[in-house]
Amino acid sequence: MKPPAPRRRVTIVDVARHAQVSTTAVSKVLRNAYGASPEMRAKVRRAIDELGYRPHAGARGLRGQTYTIGVMLPDIRNPFFPEVLDGITQALEDTEYQVLLGPGCNGEKAEARVTEAMIDRGMDGLILVAPVSSRTRLEHVASAVPTVVVGRHGSSPGYDAVVNDDIEGASLVVGHLAGLGHRRIAHIEHHETDPTRLAEMPNARRADGYRQAMRALGLAEWIDVVSTSYTQEGGYRGAKELLERPQRPTAVFAGADVVAMGVLDAVAEAGLSVPDDISVAGYDNTTFAAFGLISLTSVDQAGHEIGRNAARLVLERITDRHTPSVQVSLAPTLVPRRTTARPPE
Amino acid sequence: MKPPAPRRRVTIVDVARHAQVSTTAVSKVLRNAYGASPEMRAKVRRAIDELGYRPHAGARGLRGQTYTIGVMLPDIRNPFFPEVLDGITQALEDTEYQVLLGPGCNGEKAEARVTEAMIDRGMDGLILVAPVSSRTRLEHVASAVPTVVVGRHGSSPGYDAVVNDDIEGASLVVGHLAGLGHRRIAHIEHHETDPTRLAEMPNARRADGYRQAMRALGLAEWIDVVSTSYTQEGGYRGAKELLERPQRPTAVFAGADVVAMGVLDAVAEAGLSVPDDISVAGYDNTTFAAFGLISLTSVDQAGHEIGRNAARLVLERITDRHTPSVQVSLAPTLVPRRTTARPPE
DNA sequence: CTGAAAGCGCTAACAA
DNA sequence: TTGTTAGCGCTTTCAG
């Protein structure tokens, strides 16, 4: 059995003929542009409905816009990003813009491929979530198309930015733990060598925030940072190392929830219990953290708000490419759960 | 400070002029089309590199292809789908095709919006993962663009399909539990009313497979199905109900891992322990399931393979739209972990 | 307010 | 093998 022959697409010419007007008129109605009488609009609208006409985005893009916003997500598996995405789509839901996602961006090469692909497809604006590419590269992208960078500290005149205040977030965790009576609070960070990224990436800021908060609370002597990676495996290795210390920490602040998962694993394996023997906190407030059996104390970044702001900014930037770039920083909140408690006597 | 003025894009005309050839020649080189001498190819390639030329996908789409494959994912949060996506992107990685994802497709309306948007953008092929839209709707989409449907049983001449053998998967779980000595094995299914979907959706097949397997093992009298939804909440409610039975089941087969999470929650709340008092199994083998502290027995659908097959099929369908449609069914495997054990004496 | 006509960047049909 | 030319479907001047 054969699939039916593909039908010819209804074009603007069909609509114009059917409505007895010019294609220009139809185009104006489509774009709500100035210069079309109410009667004409009504006539055209009717023709559009009757024919089931849909404008061809690619063809529109050749002269005007494609009404498409590209979103690049680094890791679809990290449960924090869907939150941001929801914020973006919700903010764009009532506009004519359609969101399209670029998948699987692990590393600079993949990011370059995806951003290029989006530019080639004439996207009107880009939202890059937690990109790892160099600043130069980001500015290059931004010079081709309005761009908002999410989750990278350090601003650029070339693009707008939305970040979470990671220093503050780390401080919330340390403060919470110290308030419970902990002194030996350790931190597991994501290993970072690149000097640019050292300044701009959230992971580095969280480690910084941890150190600053420890000092501010007079706990400088207990500062203890293990460098692994923001993965479950990294958390597991980091915790292993911490548990072998002569003086074991009584609390571990993992730089991300996935890391905390690995920590919980290692702690259980060592025959210790959480939070009686050791407290554990994460960052991101992912679904994992909220899950009853785990109930991980974490920091909420308000991903939804981050997304909404990014969407708003990219729309503004599309409308006016020449206003100065802006940076939005959102305050995180602490979500205390059952993995943190008073330290053992 | 103002963003730099956007540079004019390098076009095929620029390349042609720079290489001293016609635009046709450049176009041929771009598409590896017949009729260009090696010297010409080399010359054009060099010009392309020197100018940093990139073809404009929208413009290409107006005559030929856009080299874009659209993937629609129902719920980015469900950890099973990234697996499928990885399979797709990997299979497409060495081709000229770029994958773009449509976000947030919960419900028929959202699905329609996304599929329309993809068609409007001239995508060359679509992969629809676990769509809920009506068969008619899917065939409508497929009539406009080569389409592969993933995770819907029931074939159509209009589109290719890739599915997991859910009946077999359910059978693996029931067999495993029965082998451990369980008799009172209950199932939590996703409530389904729509008659079409009743036949085509994986959730319905899993419930069917459960019933068939129970009968085949002579356990028909213990068949016990609770209808809630494939969410953590649904699992929680379903388990609550099961735990109140005069004769409590000794094992619960949850139709999905997220459901099993809710079950674990409810079981813990009831003061029972897993697997000593009650065994729990899920379906999908998500990251959740693999996580050490949970260690959920589950069914692996080989999401990666599903994705690879879908990508392969869509490419074939783009090349030749007139071969008969095909259905691929992949066998699932059981992944026994620590939530299932012998029933209590 | 309305429409004719000229492209946007590319590919395909056709000539040379 | 190569180049010329006519569109693809739309937006955008620019006359009327």
Does A228 fall in a domain? yes
Judgement on whether residues B155 and B282 belong to the same structural domain of the protein: no
Chain D positions with any atom < 7 A from a protein CB: 1-5, 7-13
Does B131 fall in a domain? yes
B27 strand C contact, CB < 7 Å: yes
Does A5 fall in a domain? no
Q: Could you tell me if B154 and B99 are in contact, meaning their C-beta atoms sit under 8 angstroms apart?
A: no
Asked which of A5-9, A134-138, B81-85, B138-142 is least confident by mean pLDDT, the reply is A5-9
Give me the mean pLDDT over the B27-47 stretch. 91
Shortest Cα distance from A274 to chain B (angstroms)?
12
Per-residue pLDDT of A252-305, as tens digits, reads: 999 999 999 999 999 999 999 999 999 999 999 987 888 888 899 999 999 999
Between B77 and B201, the higher pLDDT residue: B201
**CB contact, 8 Å: A104 with chain B?**
yes
pLDDT at B105 over 90: no
Judgement on whether residues B131 and B250 belong to the same structural domain of the protein: no
pLDDT at position A8: 78
* Structure confidence at residue B3 as a pLDDT band (50, 70, 90): very low
Give me the mean pLDDT over the B203-208 stretch. 95
Which residue segment(s) compose the domain that B185 sits in? 166-302
pLDDT at position B5: 47
Per-residue pLDDT of A72-103, as tens digits, reads: 998 877 778 888 999 999 999 999 999 999 98
B24 strand D contact, CB < 7 Å: yes
Give me the mean pLDDT over the B319-336 stretch. 94
pLDDT at position A6: 54
Judgement on whether residues A233 and A296 belong to the same structural domain of the protein: yes
Place of tokens 């679809």: A76
C1'-nearest nucleotide to the CA of B16: D3
Judgement on whether residues B317 and B247 belong to the same structural domain of the protein: no
Q: Among positive and negative, which fits the CA dihedral B239, B244, B246, B248? A: positive
pLDDT at B141 over 60: yes
Give B-chain residues touching A99 at CB under 8 angstroms.
Answer: 102-103
Judgement on whether residues A286 and A235 belong to the same structural domain of the protein: yes
Give me the mean pLDDT over the B62-84 stretch. 89
Tell me, what DSSP letter sits at residue A162? E
- CA neighbor of A174 nearest in space, from A228, A255, A102, A112: A255
Give me the mean pLDDT over the A40-68 stretch. 94
A68 strand D contact, CB < 7 Å: no
Measured between alpha carbons, how far is B320 from B315 in angstroms, rounded to an integer? 9
CA distances from B291 to A84, A138, A171, B294 (A): 24, 35, 29, 6
pLDDT at position A7: 65
pLDDT at A4 over 70: no
Does B336 fall in a domain? no
pLDDT at position A3: 42
Helix (H, G, I), strand (E, B) or coil at A282: coil
pLDDT at A209 over 90: yes
Helix (H, G, I), strand (E, B) or coil at B225: strand
Q: List CB contacts of A32: < 8 A, sequence separation 6 or more.
A: none
Judgement on whether residues B178 and B266 belong to the same structural domain of the protein: yes
B40 strand D contact, CB < 7 Å: yes
> A256-292 burial, b if ≥16 CB within 10 A, otherwise e?
bbbbbbbbbbbbeeeeeebbeebbbbbbbbbbbbbbb
Portion 239-298 of B in contact with A at CB < 8 A: 261, 264-265, 268-269, 287-288, 291-294
- CA neighbor of A66 nearest in space, from B155, B296, B66: B66
Q: List CB contacts of A320: < 8 A, sequence separation 6 or more.
A: none
Q: Could you tell me if A299 and A173 are in contact, meaning their C-beta atoms sit under 8 angstroms apart?
A: yes
Give me the mean pLDDT over the B244-262 stretch. 95
Q: What is the largest CA-CA distance in chain A?
A: 86
CA distances from A123 to A34, A82, A118, B213, B296 (A): 24, 21, 6, 51, 42
Judgement on whether residues A191 and A312 belong to the same structural domain of the protein: no
CATH number for the domain that contains residue B246: 3.40.50.2300
Number of A/B CB contacts below 8 angstroms equals 166
Judgement on whether residues B203 and B76 belong to the same structural domain of the protein: no
* Structure confidence at residue B226 as a pLDDT band (50, 70, 90): very high
Judgement on whether residues B142 and B187 belong to the same structural domain of the protein: no
Does this model's pTM top 0.85? My answer is yes
Mean pLDDT of all residues in chain B? 92
User: Searching chain B, which residue's CA lies closest to the CA of residue A326?
Assistant: B1
Q: Which two tokens mark A87?
A: 């914020």
| Beta-carbon separation of A57 and B264 below 8 A | no
* Interaxial angle between packed helices A257-269 and A232-243, expressed in degrees from 0 to 180 and rounded to the nearest 10: 50
Does B3 fall in a domain? no
| Beta-carbon separation of A62 and B66 below 8 A | no
Per-residue pLDDT of B267-325, as tens digits, reads: 999 999 999 999 999 999 987 888 888 899 999 999 999 999 999 999 999 998 888 99
Helices (H) and strands (E) in chain B, counts: 14, 12
Judgement on whether residues A93 and A156 belong to the same structural domain of the protein: yes
Mean pLDDT of all residues in chain A? 93
| Beta-carbon separation of A100 and B98 below 8 A | no
| Beta-carbon separation of B120 and A294 below 8 A | no
Instruction: Determine the residue among B72, B100, B124, B139 to mutate to test chain A binding: the one whose Cβ has the most chain A Cβ atoms within 10 Å.
Output: B100
Per-residue pLDDT of A210-240, as tens digits, reads: 999 999 999 999 999 999 999 889 999 999 9
pLDDT at position B7: 64
B122 strand C contact, CB < 7 Å: no
Give me the mean pLDDT over the A23-48 stretch. 92
Give me the mean pLDDT over the A147-176 stretch. 96
CA distances from A71 to A68, A133, A194 (A): 10, 15, 25
Does B61 fall in a domain? no
Chain C positions with any atom < 7 A from a protein CB: 1-5, 7-13
Does A143 fall in a domain? yes
* Structure confidence at residue A155 as a pLDDT band (50, 70, 90): confident
* Structure confidence at residue B246 as a pLDDT band (50, 70, 90): very high
Domain count, chain B: 3
Residue nearest to nucleotide C2 (CA to C1'): A25
pLDDT at position B161: 97
Residue nearest to nucleotide D12 (CA to C1'): A63
Helix (H, G, I), strand (E, B) or coil at A328: strand
pLDDT at A1 over 90: no
| Beta-carbon separation of A103 and B102 below 8 A | no
Instruction: Determine the residue among A86, A293, A318 to mutate to test chain B binding: the one whose Cβ has the most chain B Cβ atoms within 10 Å.
Output: A293
Last residue of a domain, one of B302, B320, B339: B302
* Structure confidence at residue B129 as a pLDDT band (50, 70, 90): very high
Does A338 fall in a domain? no
**CB contact, 8 Å: B63 with chain A?**
no
Give me the mean pLDDT over the A12-21 stretch. 94
CATH number for the domain that contains residue B27: 1.10.260.40
Percent of chain A's residues with pLDDT above 90 = 82
B120 strand D contact, CB < 7 Å: no
Judgement on whether residues A25 and A87 belong to the same structural domain of the protein: no
Q: Which two tokens mark B310?
A: 């879908």
> A299-313 burial, b if ≥16 CB within 10 A, otherwise e?
bbbbbbbbbbbbbbb
Judgement on whether residues A118 and A174 belong to the same structural domain of the protein: no
